[in-house]
Amino acid sequence: MYGFELIETLSEANLEVKEGTLYPLMNRMNAEGLLSAVWETDTLKGHPRKFYSLTRQGQNAIQDMSDEFDDMIRIYRRLAKGREEDK
Amino acid sequence: MSYDSKNESHPKNDPRLDRYLDSLERALRPLSVSDRSEIITEIKSHVLSALERDPSSPVRDVLSALGEPEVVANRYLIERKVKPVKPPVSPIVKWLVIGFLGTLAIPFLFLTIAIFRFAPMFSWGQLRDNGFLGYSIEIDGRDEKVRIGPSRSQPEPFSGERTLEEGQKVSLNLSYGDIEIKTTSDSEFKWDCVLAGDGAGPKIEESDDGLSFTIAPASAKCLIQVPRLSPLKLVGSAGTVKLSEPGFDVDLSWQNGLVKILPAKDLTYTFDLKVTNGRTDEFLSTEGGKSIQIKVQLENGYIEKIEEEK
């Protein structure tokens, strides 16, 4: 997926991210090894595009964040249930 | 939609895009050439992709959605933990600041001119001994008086004396002042004055009848010494007159001020004191041929009796 495509995908999912914010962020994630980037010039017409993909390290990071998120949801649900019982 | 590479309207050739990318590259100067080149290519790719998706969209709108090049560059620098460059001040902000400061400066300038034109701003007392900043600030340490205002010419103290025949009259005419009058045992009429403000020195006229001494219109601080038995006539507008142990007849006509009288213990006096809009202390008159006549006509003021020399 290249940068412009990613912005459109996020926008369709109602996650508006400014272009001037997204590209520097992708740049850092690439430098940290979470993403790999490849310039495609031959397969597409027109100007070159930089395609990003997740590295294994990036996939692990997403899995960690997803697990953490699930834990948080479980904790909140438990707390909410406790409050209901108190009532 | 595809663009004809020979067509000058192709967004790749848009001067606004070139300027934007130039500014972005300048702002990314802390990074290496290869990093800069990659970022520029990616941003250019983004703009072209956006224009490819919506050809009716002006380049200007796509660039403004990205943000100012310096701001975008700073985000790259922050993500790489490089100290960001200071974004340039917008010309609108710059001119607003200049306009604001200019608006403040004009009344300040006007006020400064007004103060130095219509002064003195503060004035205590009328005389001084020392001047600072070209006599803009003057301090009279003796009388604890300070004057702040436009510079004035340094006062020229003046003093002098004239010999009087016994019985010759002295006539003093003053505008404003702080006058002390004493008696001398000799026959010299003496004056020791300092002028406050721009004013001419004393005008002295002598006649067979006596001597006329005038300081007008300036205010003055004077120590006047009058020979015993020379009748004194004194006229003035405002200020303080002190008669210290007068040994001569006095005819004093004064307005707006304070008349201090210190009678001599070894002399007898006949007082004729009239005060309009004011008050007077009580003075003991002694009727008799040799009594000294003290006649005072005071408007708006106070005649004070002083018991002894302070």
| Segment A41-81, tens digit of pLDDT | 766 567 788 999 999 999 999 999 999 999 999 999 999 98
Query: Of B19, B13, B6, whose CA–CA distance to B51 is shortest?
Result: B13
Task: For residue range B267-287, list pLDDT tens digits in order.
Answer: 889 999 999 888 898 888 887
Element (H, E) at B76: helix B69-79
Site from A1, A10, A21 to mutate, B interface, most B CB atoms within 10 angstroms:
A21
Is the Cβ pair B42, A4 closer than 8 Å? Answer: no
Which of residues B203 and B108 earns the better pLDDT score? B108
What distance separates the 2 farthest-apart alpha carbons in chain B? 131
Is the Cβ pair B45, A23 closer than 8 Å? Answer: no
Is the Cβ pair B80, A45 closer than 8 Å? Answer: no
Is the Cβ pair B2, A18 closer than 8 Å? Answer: no
Residues of B in contact with A23 (CB under 8 A): 39, 42-43, 46, 72, 76
For B196-257, the DSSP string reads ESS----EEEE-SSEEEEEEEEEEEEEEEEEETT--EEEEEEEEEEEEES--S-EEEEEEEE
- Which of B42, B44, B79 comes nearest A28 by C-beta? B79
Look at B77-81, B146-150, B185-189 and tell me which has the smallest mean pLDDT.
B146-150
Q: Is the link from the previous residue into B227 a cis peptide, with omega within 30 of 0?
A: no
- Contact between A26 and A73 under an 8 Å Cβ cutoff? The reply is no
CA–CA distance from A62 to each of A12, A17, A30, B75 (Å)? 21, 19, 14, 23
The overall average pLDDT reported for chain B is 80
At residue A87, does pLDDT exceed 90?
Answer: no
Using left for φ > 0, alpha for ψ between -120 and 50, and beta otherwise, residue B80 falls in alpha
The residue of chain B nearest to residue A45, with distances taken between CA atoms, is B2
State whether residue B53 sits within 8 Å of chain A by CB.
Answer: yes
Place of tokens 């040994």: B247
State whether residue B46 sits within 8 Å of chain A by CB.
Answer: yes
- Contact between B264 and B247 under an 8 Å Cβ cutoff? The reply is yes
Q: Is the link from the previous residue into B150 a cis peptide, with omega within 30 of 0?
A: no
CA distance A55 to chain B (A): 19
What local confidence, expressed as pLDDT, does residue A72 receive?
96
- Which of B41, B49, B79 comes nearest A24 by C-beta? B79
Task: For residue range B107-144, list pLDDT tens digits in order.
Answer: 999 888 887 776 554 444 444 445 555 556 666 655 66
- Contact between B297 and B253 under an 8 Å Cβ cutoff? The reply is yes
At residue B79, does pLDDT exceed 70?
Answer: yes
CA distance A72 to chain B (A): 28
Residues of A in contact with B71 (CB under 8 A): 20
Element (H, E) at A12: helix A3-12
Ramachandran angles phi, psi of B274, nearest 5°: -125, 125
Is the Cβ pair B66, A45 closer than 8 Å? Answer: no
Residues of B in contact with A18 (CB under 8 A): 65-67
Return the number of other C-beta atoms located less than 10 Å from residue B182's C-beta. 17
Distance between first and last Cα of chain B: 108
Look at A15-29, B123-137, B252-266, B267-281 and tell me which has the smallest mean pLDDT.
B123-137
Q: Which residues contact B274 (CB under 8 A, 6 or more apart)?
A: B296, B297, B298
CA angle at A44 for the pair A37 and B57, rounded to the nearest 5°: 95
What local confidence, expressed as pLDDT, does residue B121 receive?
45
Residues 58-117 of B with CB under 8 A from A: 65-67, 71-72, 75-76, 78-80
Tokens linked to B120: 């003195």
Is the Cβ pair A49, B45 closer than 8 Å? Answer: yes
Is the Cβ pair A21, B48 closer than 8 Å? Answer: no
Is the Cβ pair B79, A50 closer than 8 Å? Answer: no
* Torsion over CA: A26, A31, A34, A36 (sign): positive
Is the Cβ pair A24, B72 closer than 8 Å? Answer: yes
State whether residue A47 sits within 8 Å of chain B by CB.
Answer: yes
Distance CA A6, CA A51 (A): 10
- Contact between B286 and B267 under an 8 Å Cβ cutoff? The reply is no
Amino acid at B52: E
- Contact between B189 and B225 under an 8 Å Cβ cutoff? The reply is yes
Task: For residue range B170-202, list pLDDT tens digits in order.
Answer: 888 887 788 899 988 888 888 888 876 656 667
